[in-house]
Structure formats: structure tokens, C-alpha cells
Structure 1
Amino acid sequence: MKTTSDNPWEELPRSRGRGDYNTRMVAPDVNPDAKRIYWAKGRSNHPAFLVEYDSSETGAPEPPKFKNISIRDIESERSILLELQDQEMKAQFLRLCLDIADSVQKAPTVAMRKMTFMRLEKWASFLRPGRGPLTAEQQKGLIGELLFLKRVSAAIYEPSNALSGWTGPERSKRDFGYGQIFVEVKSKRGSSNSEIGISSEEQLNTNESERLFLYVVELNSATDEDKAAFSLTDVVNDVQMLFDSPLDLAHFQEKLSDAGYFPEDDYSHTLWSEGVTETYEVKDGFPRIVSSSCPPGVKAVTYKIDLGYCSDYEVDQSAITQALR
């Protein structure tokens, strides 16, 4: 979202009373649905942003904390007030406000508070000191998970349920879990490379009531001369088209930020091409290290599996689909 001014607070006078704010509703170029969102300025003359919410809205989490932005949830006035404390961050603060304005446009009235806090959580992660773009390996891993989400989960479940089962961004042991069916997504380079990495002795654990599958996507580096090449951002944009509900879309974007992806980062120079996808069922006899095989005191085990030794466990993708159904 863009606004016609890079300083929408410029012509807004400061208030004279302590605790009072002069406000102006965000204009239709940014706020076409006329939501109750306002540019604001208090006695301190600092840029501020006000979001009003419905009195019946409950259950929103506590707002995150920022070093240079104060956030007040004024329940008595059913409003959230964001106020910038560091004028050198005005450009970033404007982007944050525009992002919130965009996110709440199609949101139901009873979800304004929740949507605002969800976007603030995303920005709290983005502005975290020391944060940087995802590495090439991290991009590969996220692309694999997004492809599974689109091609398998979203083809079976309603969008909100498909998202709920995507637990990879939450640092869960497995990337997807639906009831007693679990899927671990792996990415590898080149058809000649048959190795995948396992991050812990718990990742391939199963019990008698669980079924666990491996979904292995081949992803190779590509150049812009390859017409089929794509970036991580291309995949994200493609997958988010699945979500019509503003809350589902916000939930998806929240998971992306948990995974370390933010649209403000530039991934256009890292391109990928997709090869063959293989699927395996992890069961008795599958080559793996599990918790029960480790002596006491041994943990955080990382190792590699050569899929060339796993042909007896390879299954068609329909096996995952049937299990999930």
C-alpha cells in the first residue's frame, strides 16, 4: 500500500492537552473500505496511528513490545494507539502503519484488534536486531513446505485447517501434522544427490498409532535465462492466492514471519528450478536414528539419510493424500 504523502502527519496539528490526540481518518487511497483507522498526533508532536475496534471483540493476544514505538491498548475507548518515539524511524513507522491499514481492509469489524496485533507481531520479528534475509538453504526448505501446503494440504482441507497443520514455522518436530498423520518435508539438490539431512533423533520418531511420510522436493539453482525459474517470493505470492479470508491470509503471513520470511527482503536474485518430488513412508526398517536407540545423555543428533537405500519405502504421493483424507 502507498499513500500520496510520505508524511501524512505533516498537516496534522499537535494536540494541546495531555493524553489528547488530534486525528484524521486514513484517506481512501489507502483505506478504501473506510475502516476506523486514523493518523494521529499528540502533545509530543510524535507521529501516531489509531485503530478503533468493536466492543464485542475479545481474545486478542497481548501486543508485542518495540524499542522505539509505544503501543497502548485502550480498552475503555476500544482503540489501539501506536506512537513513534524515535523520529529517525519515521519511514519504517509509516510502512508499518500502511501494512496494518492494508491488512484490516477486508477484515470483519469484530477482528480489527486481532488483525492489528497479528501484523504488529510480524513487524516485531522483522525489526528484531540482527535479523537478516533467509539463506539459500533456508529458502529451499521453506519452498518445499509451501509446495506441500499448496499441492497436498490445501487440496484436501479448508484453508484454515490446512494452515493449522503447518507446524514447521513453529519449530515443531515435523513440518505438518493432521491428527495422527505427519509429514516431514525435505529439499535436496540435483537428481544425483540422494542425501537428506535430519535435524534431531526425534524428527523421525513414530508410535503405533502414527504414520509418518517424507516429502522430498528436488530444488536446483537456476538463472534468469531459465524461463521456468522462480524465486521464493514467487512461490509465496502463488500460495497466498489460496486464501480468500483476511484472517486466513493474516495467519499465513504470520507463519511466514515465524519462518523468517518478510516481503521487504529481496529474493529476486536467488532463483530455483524444480525437479522430481519423491515420497516415502517411514516405518519399521526405514534407516533412521530415533530417541529410543540413543543411550542416556545423547541428544540433538543430526545425521544424513541416503535415499538410495530407501527404495523399499518409496510410495506414490496418493498414499499421503489417502492417509490424510
Structure 2
Amino acid sequence: MISMSELSDAWKEIIPQAGQSVGRRADKNHPLDFFITYDENRNMQMMLISEFLPTIPPSSQQISVRANFRHDGKYAVCFSLTDNSLQEQFVSLCWDIMHCTISTHSKASGVKAAVKRFCMWQKLFAEEKNKKLSDAEVKGLLGELCALRNVILMRYSPQTAVAGWIGPIGADRDFEFSDTWYEAKAVTLSKDIVTISSADQLDIGAEGTLLILRIEKVSQNTPGAFTLNSLADEVRNSVQDPEARIIFESRLSSSKYDPADPQADEPYFLHQIEYYRVNDDFPRIRRSNLPAAISNCTYSLSISGLQSWRQEQ
């Protein structure tokens, strides 16, 4: 598949023209028909050709979305960047959409997956840039980075590992791969409750793993202590592949991580990681079992009650 840097360069090779859309196919080997273009207003644009009209998400202040009917009976689904200050993030968005659909089994399912992934990114583009991480979000990011360092990078290549880290872009689960998924929850040593943040978080047919990471705030001189900044650097240094590094930095940015934030220098310690197999018998809420009037919910699981599903790693 085309690399992120090659995708960025593709736009640089196109000369925008006022009043008309110009561009080129993004990757001839991709199963879906993606095109890198500039729209009639000279905005960066990604176009996806579809044989059917998918559900089109609404436009935002940053990205315009529309679908045009073509003479060949197909539809051109167009995503145009209207905020030029977000060009780098837009390239990451487009590459991520292409990457998550590279192994699609059919064009129809691929188009639907592409639109779904775009909707995740669109929420991030609309968020305020100056919004700081809350204490809970700091703990959550620490948990995801520890999971990435201690579990995911031990099992997958750097590029696969960081590309599968999709929690920061609004996915229901923190890590998803072709063969399994992982959800990371950071809690203190004494806590017996883990909060599931939505009805959809564990509502998935494929088996996966709930990771419970026991993380405590400690003093600066505690042996083995780390900060959000030092942990990010540690993961960064283990991701040597240039393309994987770009993806990693994009995910950090999407997480609202700011190395200058005083919270990023507060010390923590990882005591242990617990692995719980989420299979058909695992206790969880299924959206199909909820009354239609319930649009969403959060719920808590007793960790001591999950011991039948605990695995040794």
C-alpha cells in the first residue's frame, strides 16, 4: 500500500485549478477506488468512487462532504478539507481510511468501512485544539501507552501495532487487528471496578482481550516510575520505522497529548497487567438486548467477578 509520505507527496504533484476538480488515483493496488484530488475551490480532497450511495455524514467547518452522481452510474463520495491549517492531519486521515480498508472483502463493505472511519476522524477535527486532558484522560492514555509498549508491540510489527491503535480516533475499542482486539483499562491496585464507557465497547462478535493495567501515582524517586512524557518517548524510540513513527505521532496528537502540560511530568508506576478473555460467555451488555429508547449507557464490571475469564500471559 502507498505510504503516508507518498500520499502527502501525491497532492504536491497535482496543480490545483479553479473551477474544476483535478487529481489522480491514490493507489492502483488498493481494492477501493480512492482518488487524491483538489476540488473546484482548490481544497485538498479525497474522492472515493462507489457503486452505491452510502450514508453520507454531514459536513463540518473543517471538512466538506458530498456525493456526486456520475455519468457511469456510480457515485463520487468527496471529502474536501476547508481548513488549510489541518493539512497534515488530513493526510493522516486519508491514509488511515485507506489502511483500514486495504483488506476489505468486497467493495460494498469497504465503502461502508471507509465512511465509518471518516466519521471517527471528523469528531476529532471538530474538537477544540486547546482542550486539556483531564486526570481520567491522562490515566487512560497512560494505560493505552503501557498496553502498546508491554503487549501490542511484543506481538505485532511497529506499523501494524500503531495503526491498530485506534482508540484516539474515536473507535469503540483501543486496539483492533485482523485477528483480535484489545481494550485497555487503567485502574489503581485496590480498585475492584472497571467502567465500560459505552454499550458498544465490548459488543463485538470477535473474541478479544480486556487488559486491566494496575497503575498508581507515585513519588518522583520511585524506582521504575515513569511519566506520560517519558512513556511516550520510550514507545517512540521503539518505533523506528518512519511510517510507523508518523502514525504514532498522529495518534498522540489525536489523544490531545501535550508534552508541555504539567500533568505529562507527573510520575506513575505500572504494577501489573491482567488479561481477561472476552468471549461469548463474558458478562457484558449487548446493544441488541437494550430497549430502543436507550441510546447509550455506561456500566461497571466487578474485576473479582471476572476471574473465570482471566488468562496468564
1:266 aligns with 2:262: yes
Cα distance 1:279–1:128, how it changes in 2: closer, same or farther (>3 A)?
closer
Q: Secondary structure at the match of 2:182?
A: strand
Could you list the per-position Cα deviations for residues 106-130 of structure 1 after superposition, in whole angstroms to 9, with x for gaps in the alignment?
A: xxxxxxxxxx9436889xx899756
In structure 1, which of residues 206, 217, 223 is the aligned counterpart of residue 204 of structure 2? 206
Paired AA for residue 156 in structure 1: R
Offset at residue 302 of structure 1 (A):
0.3
1:223 aligns with 2:219: yes
Q: Secondary structure at the match of 2:88?
A: helix
Q: Secondary structure at the match of 1:310?
A: helix
Residue 194 of structure 1 is matched in structure 2 by 192
1:160 aligns with 2:178: no
Instruction: Assess if the C-alpha contact under 8 Å between 1:118 and 1:250 holds in 2.
Output: no
Paired AA for residue 211 in structure 1: E
Identity %: 25
Residue 140 of structure 1 is matched in structure 2 by 139
TM-score (norm 1): 0.57
Instruction: Assess if the C-alpha contact under 8 Å between 1:198 and 1:303 holds in 2.
Output: yes
Residue 77 of structure 1 is matched in structure 2 by none
Larger-Rg structure: 1
Paired AA for residue 181 in structure 2: F
For structure 1, which runs of at least 5 residues remain unmatched after alignment? 1-50, 64-70, 74-115, 318-325
Cα distance 1:157–1:284, how it changes in 2: closer, same or farther (>3 A)?
closer
Instruction: Assess if the C-alpha contact under 8 Å between 1:126 and 1:257 holds in 2.
Output: no
Could you list the per-position Cα deviations for residues 261-286 of structure 1 after superposition, in whole angstroms to 9, with x for gaps in the alignment?
A: 13343335422111121110112332
The aligned runs of 1:111-130 (5 Å cut-off) are: 117-118=87-88, 129=128
CA distance in 2, matches of 1:197, 1:215: 12
Paired AA for residue 172 in structure 1: A
Cα distance 1:313–1:267, how it changes in 2: closer, same or farther (>3 A)?
same
Paired AA for residue 118 in structure 1: E
CA distance in 2, matches of 1:199, 1:62: 38
Cα distance 1:62–1:265, how it changes in 2: closer, same or farther (>3 A)?
farther
Paired AA for residue 279 in structure 2: K
In structure 1, which of residues 276, 291, 294 is the aligned counterpart of residue 290 of structure 2? 294
Offset at residue 255 of structure 1 (A):
0.7
**Range 136-145 or range 244-253, more displaced:** 244-253
| Aligned alpha-carbon RMSD (Å) | 3.2
TM-score (norm 2): 0.60
For structure 2, which runs of at least 5 residues remain unmatched after alignment? 1-8, 15-22, 27-34, 45-85, 93-123
Q: Secondary structure at the match of 1:217?
A: strand
1:252 aligns with 2:248: yes
Could you list the per-position Cα deviations for residues 233-276 of structure 1 after superposition, in whole angstroms to 9, with x for gaps in the alignment?
A: 11100000122233321211111111111334333542211112
CA distance in 1, matches of 2:278, 2:259: 35
Residue 68 of structure 2 is matched in structure 1 by none
Instruction: Assess if the C-alpha contact under 8 Å between 1:126 and 1:262 holds in 2.
Output: no
Instruction: Assess if the C-alpha contact under 8 Å between 1:61 and 1:117 holds in 2.
Output: no
Q: Secondary structure at the match of 2:240?
A: coil
Offset at residue 61 of structure 1 (A):
7.3
Offset at residue 133 of structure 1 (A):
2.8
Residue 41 of structure 1 is matched in structure 2 by none
Residue 151 of structure 1 is matched in structure 2 by 150
Could you list the per-position Cα deviations for residues 1-30 of structure 1 after superposition, in whole angstroms to 9, with x for gaps in the alignment?
A: xxxxxxxxxxxxxxxxxxxxxxxxxxxxxx
Cα distance 1:126–1:263, how it changes in 2: closer, same or farther (>3 A)?
farther
Q: Secondary structure at the match of 1:186?
A: strand
Could you list the per-position Cα deviations for residues 155-174 of structure 1 after superposition, in whole angstroms to 9, with x for gaps in the alignment?
A: 22221111121111111111
Instruction: Assess if the C-alpha contact under 8 Å between 1:286 and 1:313 holds in 2.
Output: yes
Paired AA for residue 137 in structure 2: Q
